[in-house]
Amino acid sequence: MLARQQFRMTGYLTAFAAAWLLMTGLSMAAELAPINAHRIHFARFDGILYYTVEQDGYRVVATLASGPEELPIRFIATLGPGQRAMISVPQSVDQPSVDFEIFRDGDALIVGDSAATADLVAK
């Protein structure tokens, strides 16, 4: 029973931290491990992103949908060291697009918005 309560509290704290970061507008970037799926959310889209190590580079697959009943879209790219790819969602005419960047830095794959990936790579 105690383990279940601790698990539930950890879930609440994680959800609170993620909501706080979204509300404050802070940029976030994450380094991924091969084959481990990473949930992504930007603009009106939710989905998953993962990569596999292939002979010609890291094969990155992102599958996104704007809702559970909507037809998903899939983005696939193979990245070599130093290469990057971007998924961009246009907004209204007077608003900037919402961009999600995927960057291969040596053996690491970094994902997040373009400001966050630039900050993480600069360190």
Q: Residues 20-59: pLDDT tens digits? A: 333 333 345 677 778 888 888 877 888 999 999 999 999 9
Tell me whether residue 115 is in a domain.
yes
Tell me whether residue 18 is in a domain.
no
- Domain of residue 74, residue span: 27-122
Please indicate whether residue 41 or residue 106 has the higher confidence score (pLDDT). 106
Phi, psi of 32 (to 5 degrees): -100, 155
The per-residue DSSP string of 78-121 comes to EE-TT-EEEEEE---TTSPPEEEEEEEETTEEEEE-HHHHHHHH
Report the predicted TM-score, pTM, of the whole model to 2 decimal places: 0.66
Using the structure block, give the residue that is written with the tokens 């971007």: 86
Q: Give the tokens for residue 114.
A: 């373009």
What per-residue confidence (pLDDT) applies to 37?
87
**How many C-beta atoms surround the C-beta of residue 113 within 10 A?**
18
Tell me whether residue 8 is in a domain.
no
Tell me whether residue 38 is in a domain.
yes
Tell me whether residue 3 is in a domain.
no
* pLDDT, tens digit (0-9, with 9 covering 90-100), for 62-101: 999 998 899 999 999 999 999 999 998 888 899 888 888 9
CA 86/CA 101 separation, integer angstroms:
4
Q: How many structural domains does the chain have?
A: 1
